[in-house]
């Protein structure tokens, strides 16, 4: 099974293929798989459960079984959710300590972009990571790419953070061509942002104002949340149901840090 796409290897398709192959008869070969941490964590989980699985030059080999053992497994911290928390803290001029993830858990491409903007990650003695802004938040030029590059799933949050950066930032999209759905929502907050094809241009710092905005997808929601936290006044974001796809504790974690967030049962 080939899990490549016109935009590169698919993480979701790779994980789905691995899970199916783990229960299929015989040995399956997954060609051109994604090598992102979620894939290697899934492989580690399956191997711990007794599934024969290994990578080589051909791809990913999975020997299926009719029965998979149970047991305990510690899931690594979510690098995308962690990055979102870091960018929210930086956009509001604060710092944050995150548990269950270390600085090494962030892709090199993301770490470099954050450092260029003035956000430094350092490991804590308790096994977590601390993110702090050193000086003023600055503009950057960034390009998304396959792991360990800058994840495309962090580009909208990065754009929201950079509305508070000094200067003009450029974020070039090289993975997912429709990564601009957050642009209209950020404009509603007063952001100076525009999309020029695959390039998002952000000028800052801008004093954002509370707004009503619609989120079209999961990453746009997180970008608008960051803008709302940095904005003056109260904001209403419609489309937060997208968070259920991958941010089970994001709102709770932000509230723990002091964010005044109210959800409306049965609302948007």
Tens digits of residue pLDDT in 203-236: 999 999 999 999 999 999 999 999 999 999 999 9
What is the average pLDDT across 26-32?
Answer: 96
Task: Return the pLDDT at 125.
Answer: 93
Q: Which two tokens stand for residue 50?
A: 């007794």
Q: Would you place residue 151 in the very low, low, confident or very high pLDDT band (cuts 50, 70, 90)?
A: very high
- Band (pLDDT 50/70/90 cuts) for residue 259 is very high
Per-residue pLDDT at 267 exceeds 80: no
Q: Considering the entire predicted model, what is its pTM?
A: 0.91
pLDDT value of position 268: 56
């Amino acid at each position: 099974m080939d899990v490549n796409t016109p935009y590169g290897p698919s993480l979701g398709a790779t994980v789905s293929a691995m899970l199916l192959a783990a229960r299929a008869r015989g040995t399956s070969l997954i060609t051109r798989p994604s090598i992102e941490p979620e894939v290697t964590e899934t492989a580690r989980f399956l191997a711990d459960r007794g599934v024969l699985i290994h990578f080589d030059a051909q791809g990913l080999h999975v020997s299926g079984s009719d029965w998979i053992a149970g047991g305990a497994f510690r899931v690594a911290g979510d690098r995308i959710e962690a990055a979102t928390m870091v960018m929210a803290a930086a956009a509001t001029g604060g710092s944050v300590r995150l548990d269950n993830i270390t600085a090494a858990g962030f892709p090199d491409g993301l770490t470099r972009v954050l450092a260029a903007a003035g956000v430094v990650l350092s490991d804590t003695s308790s096994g977590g990571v601390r993110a702090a802004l050193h000086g003023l938040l600055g503009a950057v030029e960034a390009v998304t790419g396959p792991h360990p590059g800058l994840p495309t799933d962090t580009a909208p949050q990065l754009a929201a953070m950079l509305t508070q950066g000094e200067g003009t930032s450029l974020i070039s999209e090289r993975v997912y061509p429709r990564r601009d759905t957050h642009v209209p929502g950020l404009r509603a907050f007063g952001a100076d942002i525009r999309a020029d094809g695959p390039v998002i241009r952000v000028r800052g710092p801008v004093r954002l104002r509370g707004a009503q905005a619609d989120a079209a997808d999961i990453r746009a929601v997180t970008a608008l949340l960051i803008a709302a936290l940095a904005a003056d006044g109260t904001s209403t974001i419609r489309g937060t149901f997208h968070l259920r796809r991958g941010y089970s504790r994001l709102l709770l974690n932000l509230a723990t840090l002091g964010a005044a967030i109210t959800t409306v049962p049965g609302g948007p």
